[in-house]
Amino acid sequence: MERRVALTPSHVKLLIQDFGVRVLVESSPKRVFTDDEFAEVGAEIVTDLSEAQVIFGVKEMPIDFFEEEKTYIFFSHTIKGQEYNMPLLERMIEKRINLIEYEKIANNNDQRLIFFGRFAGLAGMINSLWSLGQRWLEMGYETPFAKLQQSHKYDSLEDAIHAISMAGSEILEEGFHEDLLPITVGITGYGNVSKGTQEILSLLPIEEISPNELLELKESGNYNNTTIYSTIFKEKHISRTKDTLGSFELQDYYNHPEKYENNMEQYIPELTVLMNCMYWDPSYPRIITKDFLANLNESGDIKLAVIGDVTCDPDGSIEATHIGTFIEDPVYVYNPITREPTMGFKGDGILIMAVDILPSELPREASQAFGDTLLHFAPEIASANYHVNFDNLKLPAPIKKALILHHGKFTPPFEYMHEYMQD
C-alpha cells in the first residue's frame, strides 16, 4: 500500500511549463495520483523508464531496476549500514549509479529540508488512538476511541481530524472508566514526527505535564476522567550518565553515547500510551528492553496498553518491535513472558503499532507537502551534468551534500560507508 509520489501532478505541471523538463511517469494502478492526472498536465505515461536519465522515487527500488550510470533519488535506507539493503547498495555501485538520498538533504545547520516526518506523526497518532480503542474493547472497556478508524480508512486528513475532534467532545461529556485512570501519553522526541503526533493529540482534551509530574500524578490523585495527560521526553529524560556524579550534556551524549544508560524505565509504568518519535541508532541506549518488560510484567505494574513505534527500528530503541508491520496488518500484541508477538488485538501483553510506511496512510497530503519542497531543487537535479567529476558537479548545496554515490563511488561525506560494505 505504498501509494505516495515524490512529485504530484501539480509539481509536474510546473516542471513542464516553467522549466521545459520532459517528464515520464511510470504507469501505476495503485498510486494515489492516477495516470490520467499526470497525463492531463503533460507528463508522458510509460511502462518503463529506459529513456529517463534521472529517476525520482520514494522508497527502495527493486534491485534489478537500476540501469548503468543513471541518477536515482529516493529513501535508500543505507546510511546506517542497514544490513538488509547492502545488496541494493552493492548493485548501485556495480552499475556506477549516482544516488541522492532524501534523508541527507539538509541546510548548513544539518537540518533536514525534505521529509515525510510530520505525516508519520499524524498517521502514527491516529493509528495509536484507534489501536487503543480496539485494545480497550478487548479488555471490556468501550471508549470514544473505539469509533475511530485506521488512518488510511479516512478519505482525507480533514476527515480524520473531524473524527478525532468528535471523540474529544465525547470524552468531555462522558469521561473514561475509573479503572483506566489516569490516561497518560508519553512522546519521545521533539522533531517533525513528534510535532505531527502532538498535532493530533491536541484535538483531544489534554494537559501537558512534565516527566517529574508524570511520576507523581497517580499518587497525587490530582487528575480527572475527562483529561488526557501528555508528556514530552527529551534526551535528558531518556538517558543518564553511567557516572552517578555526572550531569547530562546533550552534545556529549551525541559524541559519546557509550557514557550513557537508560533513564526511561522509571516512567514506563505511569504511561497508558508511548509514542516513540525520535531518531535512534545502536550506539544509544534502548528506550525499552525485552528484559525490562518481562520484569515489569512479573511485578504486575503494566499499565502500558499501546506503543506507537513511529520510528520503527526493528529490534531497536523499542526492542519488542520485532518487525515493521504492514498497513493491512498494522498491530500485534507482544507477550513479555513468551517474548512472542501475536498479530491483531487479542492476547496477553502490550499492543505495538509499528507500520513502517505511515505517511502512505495519508498519501495525497503527504505527497503534496513533500513535493512542495522538492520542487525547489528538482529542475537543477534534472538538468545537472553528472558526467563531470564531483568537484565540478553543479548541484544546489543541500542536494550535493546528499549525493551518496557519484559514478558508483562514495562521495567524501559518505566514505565511512565503505566499512559497511566490508562487513
Residues in a beta bridge with 185: 230, 273
Cis peptide before 182 (omega within 30 of 0): yes
- Quote the pLDDT of residue 341: 95
pLDDT in tens, 124-159: 999 999 999 999 999 999 999 999 999 999 999 999
Give CA–CA dist 72/95, Å, rounded.
12
**Cα–chain center distance at 174:** 33
Return mean pLDDT, the chain. Answer: 95
CB 323 within 8 A of CB 315: no
Helix boundaries (H) for 32-95: 35-39, 86-94
Copy the grid coordinates of residue 30: 495503485
Q: What is the pLDDT at residue 110?
A: 87
Distance, CA of 306 to CA of 49 (rounded, Å): 43
All domains of the chain in start order, with CATH = 9-114+363-417 (3.40.50.720), 117-361 (3.40.50.720)
**pLDDT at 80 exceeding the cut of 90:** no
pLDDT 10s digits, 353-389: 999 899 999 999 999 999 999 999 999 999 999 999 9
Report pLDDT for 300: 76
Q: What is the pLDDT of residue 277?
A: 96
- 285-339 pLDDT, tens digit each: 999 999 999 998 887 768 999 999 999 888 899 999 988 899 999 999 999 999 9
Backbone angles phi, psi at 112, to 5 degrees: -60, 145
Compute CA distances 144 → 23, 198, 202, 386, 393, whole Å: 47, 19, 16, 55, 56
Closest by alpha carbon to 200, among 370, 361, 357, 318?
A: 361
Task: Indicate the pLDDT class of residue 423, thresholds 50, 70 and 90.
Answer: low
Backbone dihedral angles phi then psi of residue 129, each to the nearest 5 degrees: -65, -40
Quote the CA–CA distance of 221 and 89 in Å, as a whole number.
55
Distance set, CA 92 to CA 5, 179, 390 (Å)? 22, 55, 17
pLDDT band of residue 84 (cuts 50, 70, 90) is: confident
- What percent of the chain clears pLDDT 70, i.e. is strictly above it? 99
Encoded amino acid at 165, one letter: S
Assessment of whether the complete model's pTM goes beyond 0.85: yes
